[in-house]
Amino acid sequence: MNTQSSQQSLTLQSLLPQPRCYAQRANFLPIEDLQNLAQTIITSPYLAQSQLSANFQGSRGFSVIFTRSGIARVQDHFPSFASYLQKALKSACNAFYLNPLLLTEGIGVEPHLDCSICSYDMVMTNPRLVSVLYVQVPEDMTGGELVLQAGKRFVGSIVPQTNTLVYFLGNLLHSVNPVKCSQPRISLICEQYNLSEERLQNIPEFEIKSGANKYREIAHD
């Protein structure tokens, strides 16, 4: 293929419809539920420097790991999460890695693929999908866009809006542009997995991971 034909082919590919890799739902929760969720996260004793990978440097949060059989226990421990869990979790998934995440002035998230659950059995596995609920987006915020890529191909850039839920495929490379804001940006991220019964045995029914010294690696089995 000559150079001109190659360029025409690339141009044609860019014009073709791309597979649908993400979706958005506005007004996801009742306002009272959203406010209670924000209050629970920002006042939580588990909230501390993020224990996720180096891609999350400078962010704050904690993690809640659970299986489908542990959903009731999560709701008992975090009552304000109940509405979110009932609406956001997909029935095809059976293991979940939930991360409240706070970003403050100048902080973003570097490009990465989610695979947090693999820390339990050391088998690299991407989620079936990832859900992100924007719990609090300051009115004066600029930046903070969620950038999605499939390999080297740009998929989309999503501007965060309060009370909007975004679903995207778990095999997408993604990042968050640094934020500029006077108040923390709060999101609730859930990696949703579909594991074999054998692998599911390695996942705790309910566990909290926190960088706060008092609550580090809290197991509830």
Mind giving me the DSSP string for 33-96? HHHHHHHHHHT-TT-EE--S-GGGTT-EE-EEEEEGGGHHHHHHH-GGGHHHHHHHS-TT--EE
SS3 215: helix
pLDDT at site 48:
86
DSSP β-ladder status, 165-169 and 153-158: unpaired
Tell me how crowded residue 218 is: count the other CB atoms within 10 A of its CB.
15
Rounded-to-integer distance, Cα 7 and Cα 164, Å: 38
Q: What is the pLDDT of residues 117-158, one digit of tens each?
A: 988 987 889 999 999 999 999 999 998 899 999 988 999 999
Tokens at residue 173, please?
């490379």
Q: Which residues of the chain have pLDDT under 50?
A: 1, 3, 5-17, 219, 221
| Beta pairing partners, 206 | 66
The residue type of 92 is A
Placement of tokens 């924000």 in the chain: 38
- 38 touches 135 (CB < 8 A): yes
The residue type of 209 is K
pLDDT at site 186:
95
Q: What is the DSSP letter of 99?
A: E
pLDDT at site 213:
61
Rounded-to-integer distance, Cα 136 and Cα 185, Å: 6
pLDDT at site 14:
47
Q: Which CATH number fits domain 22-207: 2.30.30.790, 2.60.120.620, 3.90.580.10, 3.30.70.360?
A: 2.60.120.620
State the chain's mean pLDDT as an integer: 86
* Backbone angles phi and psi of 184, in degrees to 5: -65, 145
pTM confidence score: 0.85
- 164 touches 138 (CB < 8 A): no
Placement of tokens 């190659």 in the chain: 6
Query: Which has the closest alpha carbon to 206: 131, 98, 60?
Result: 98
In whole angstroms, how large is the CA radius of gyration of the chain?
18
Tokens at residue 185, please?
């940006």
pLDDT at site 10:
44
